[in-house]
């Protein structure tokens, strides 16, 4: 057998943000697939859906009626997972084996556009810039509350990822405690800064720029990259080039640049399998706990489940649930495939 490079044989890679490993098994891509094949979303795209609870003028749960909004529209989630002032009786247990505590917070829904047919990839960058402004204002408003220490802004896209509705929208969950993943990422960034005297993600962006193997697309302000330690097949991160902690620190140019890169990246995703590419994406911004966070570097994560076509998805089962996550195609080849896509949406070419 001829010798292969280290990327072509089973190996593991370390994720310095989450401090965990991913197993990479490049030789497995050839195996036959007899598992589940997902159904394609064949719903025709309409600008207004009378059944949609997010379209302007329509009714939501609990008898709320959406205004006739023109740009973005935000409301408190009618089925909020967190409440700002839940009343309770009794004392939750707090010992080594049984430990519980109340968690206060707020959940909101943000409609990106009144147009039911749009997606981030199909929106104009100027419209998306308004969405970035709304996210920034929400982070600021919610983060300023003394009972809120973290603001998670995210989007579930596509039924496969559990999105309840194709209308372009995202969610915001503001919590009393910093959730586990950003807490861990914060800790890693803090330790790295103490040990190296520099920022983990500033250094990472510099290394990725040098390597130029995993960068998908970029502009003057942001870089979209398949991280070296990616778990999901076409997982990416968007990172700011400048060391910024959160959106309110952005200049107008940076808000526009983020909107533009998000639009370009999601267009490449859609073009990959000529489908509305499902994903969960979200921003990791500095905690809003009243402390300074010089270690924190703004970034977004995109976690798309599709593996080799519009119908075959990745599941985290077996060894991945019991041991560690695993991927078949290398991050380098995923980046190469995303780089090969055009930035004109396939819809526009039909």
Applying CB under 6 A, which residues contact ligand H2U? 53, 60-61, 77-79, 109, 156, 163-165, 171
53 makes contact with Zn ion (CB under 5 A): no
| Residue 274 binding partner per list ligand H2U, Zn ion, none, with a CB distance cut-off of 5 to 8 Å that depends on partner kind | none
> Could you say which of Zn ion, ligand H2U, none residue 171 binds, taking C-beta under 5 to 8 angstroms by partner kind?
ligand H2U
Name the residue nearer to ligand H2U (CB basis): 171 or 275: 171
Q: What residues from 98 to 137 belong to the interface with Zn ion (CB under 5 A)?
A: 116
Closest separation in Å from C-beta 51 to ligand H2U: 11
Give the DSSP letter string of 270-326.
Answer: HHHHTS---EEEEEE----SSS--TT---EEEEE--B-SSSS-B----THHHHT--E
Q: Which of 35, 29, 11, 31 is nearest to 21 (CA)?
A: 11
Instruction: Name which of ligand H2U, Zn ion, none residue 53 binds, using a CB cut-off of 5 to 8 Å depending on partner kind.
Output: ligand H2U
Helix and strand counts by DSSP (H, E) for the chain: 7, 12
CB of 164 to ligand H2U, least distance (A): 4
Candidates 295, 280, 18, 17; CA nearest to 153 is 280
Strand order through the sheet with 11-15: 11-15, 20-24, 326-327
303 forms beta bridges with 280
Q: Where are the beta strands (DSSP E) in the chain?
A: 11-15, 20-24, 73-76, 105-111, 150-157, 169-175, 215-218, 222-225, 236-240, 279-284, 299-303, 326-327
Name which of ligand H2U, Zn ion, none residue 116 binds, using a CB cut-off of 5 to 8 Å depending on partner kind: Zn ion
Answer for which of 38, 52, 82, 191 binds Zn ion (CB under 5 A) is: 52
Whether 293 is catalytic: no
Strand order across the 236-240 sheet: 73-76, 105-111, 169-175, 150-157, 279-284, 299-303, 236-240, 222-225, 215-218
Is the Cβ of residue 51 or residue 252 nearer to Zn ion in the bound state? 51
Segment lying near Zn ion (by CB under 5 A), choices 55-63, 72-80, 144-152, 335-343 = 55-63
When CB distances are held under 5 to 8 angstroms depending on the partner's kind, the choice from Zn ion, ligand H2U, none that residue 275 binds is none
Q: In angstroms, what is the minimal distance from the CB of 81 to ligand H2U?
A: 8
Could you tell me which stretch among 45-53, 184-192, 198-206, 239-247 binds Zn ion (CB under 5 A)? 45-53
Instruction: CB nearer to Zn ion: give 157 or 255.
Output: 157
Active site residues: 169
Residues forming contacts to Zn ion in the complex (CB under 5 A) are 49, 52, 54-55, 116, 167
């Amino acid at each position: 057998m001829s010798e292969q490079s280290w990327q072509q044989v089973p190996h593991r890679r370390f994720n310095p943000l989450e401090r965990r490993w991913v197993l990479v098994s490049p030789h497995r891509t050839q195996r036959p697939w007899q598992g589940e094949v997902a159904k394609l979303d064949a719903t025709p795209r309409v600008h207004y859906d009378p059944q949609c609870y997010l379209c302007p003028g329509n009714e939501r749960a609990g008898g709320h009626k959406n205004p006739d909004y023109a740009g973005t529209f935000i409301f408190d989630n009618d089925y909020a997972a967190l409440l700002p002032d839940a009343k309770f009786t009794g004392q939750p247990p707090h010992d080594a084996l049984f430990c519980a505590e109340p968690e206060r917070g707020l959940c909101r829904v943000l409609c990106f556009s009144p147009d039911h047919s749009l997606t981030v990839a199909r929106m104009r960058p100027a419209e998306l810039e308004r969405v970035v402004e709304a996210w920034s204002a929400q982070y600021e408003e919610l983060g300023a509350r003394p009972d809120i220490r973290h603001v998670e802004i995210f989007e579930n896209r596509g039924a496969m990822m559990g999105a309840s509705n194709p209308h372009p929208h995202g969610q915001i969950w503001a919590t009393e405690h910093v959730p586990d993943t950003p807490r861990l990422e914060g800790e890693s960034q803090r330790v790295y800064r103490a040990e190296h005297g520099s920022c983990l993600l500033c250094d990472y962006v510099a290394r990725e720029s040098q390597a130029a193997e995993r960068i998908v697309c970029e502009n003057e302000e942001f870089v979209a990259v398949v991280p070296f330690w990616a778990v999901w097949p076409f997982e990416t991160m968007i990172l700011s080039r400048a060391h910024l902690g959160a959106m309110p620190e952005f200049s107008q140019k940076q808000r526009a640049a983020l909107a533009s890169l998000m639009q370009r990246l999601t267009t490449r995703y859609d073009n990959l399998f000529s489908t509305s590419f499902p994903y969960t994406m979200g921003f990791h911004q500095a905690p809003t706990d009243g402390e300074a966070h010089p270690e924190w570097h703004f970034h977004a994560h995109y976690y798309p489940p599709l593996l080799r076509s519009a119908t075959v998805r990745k599941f985290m089962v077996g060894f991945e649930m019991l041991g560690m996550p695993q991927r078949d195609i290398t991050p380098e080849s995923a980046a190469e495939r995303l780089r090969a896509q055009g930035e004109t949406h396939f819809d526009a070419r039909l």
